[in-house]
Amino acid sequence: MTDETLRLACELALAARRRAGKRRRRAGRSPPAERPPPRRSPAQRSGDLHEAAALRLLRAQGLALLARNLQTRAGEIDLAMRDGDTLVFVEVRARGRSRYGGAAASIGPEKQARLARAAAHWLPELARRHWQGRPPAARFDAVVFEAGHPQWLRAAFWLA
């Protein structure tokens, strides 16, 4: 065998070994439906429960859900909802104690800026899906939980 033939044979064998390894790894995986859900921390589970309660409250008030947990590098929009012809971005906050101002006070200027950047990222996509591409009027609401009691803050903040 020449050096070139030997090199080619080694490359082919290495490629075959890689493919076989991929097949073995793929065969060992369970399909997505069979995988257990990712583990959530107690704080995350509490947040999920508060988001579900906020969603029930807002639906009872006539808002329609468009999307949940819209994530971007800038932050996350908890709920995107429709109130007539208005797109509503909803932040859900919960505090067990009202120390340091409570849940509503925790949505400070930095958090508002992050929410605005996340909303700006998702606005074109939501407009395309639900408003035939025309950007709708938008507002930022908050549902805050103080000691387990929800309060809907309509137009919780405005962009400067």
**Which pLDDT tens digit goes with each residue over 103-150?**
888 888 899 999 999 999 999 999 999 999 899 999 999 999 988 889
* Helix, strand, coil fractions of the chain, as percent rounded to 5: 45, 30, 25
The verdict on pTM exceeding 0.95 is no
What range defines the domain where residue 99 resides? 42-157
Per-residue pLDDT tens for 64-118?
Answer: 999 999 999 988 999 999 999 999 999 999 887 667 778 888 888 899 999 999 9
Say whether both 82 and 126 belong to one domain. Answer: yes
Say whether both 48 and 25 belong to one domain. Answer: no
Say whether both 105 and 130 belong to one domain. Answer: yes
* Region for residue 112 given its phi and psi (left: phi exceeds 0; alpha: psi -120 to 50; beta: otherwise): alpha
Say whether both 86 and 20 belong to one domain. Answer: no
Structural domains counted in the chain: 2
Say whether both 73 and 145 belong to one domain. Answer: yes
Nearest CA to 104 out of 94, 113, 96 is that of: 94
Rounded alpha-carbon distances, angstroms, from residue 9 to 13, 18, 20, 22: 6, 14, 16, 20
Helices H, strands E: what count in the chain? 4, 5
Query: Does position 33 have pLDDT exceeding 90, yes or no?
Result: no
Look up residue 4 and give its two tokens: 């070139």
Say whether both 84 and 5 belong to one domain. Answer: no
Nearest CA to 145 out of 112, 88, 107 is that of: 107
Say whether both 58 and 126 belong to one domain. Answer: yes
Say whether both 55 and 129 belong to one domain. Answer: yes
Say whether both 85 and 131 belong to one domain. Answer: yes
CA distance 61 to 64: 9
Look up residue 11 and give its two tokens: 């490359």
Question: What CATH number does residue 92 fall under?
Answer: 3.40.1350.10
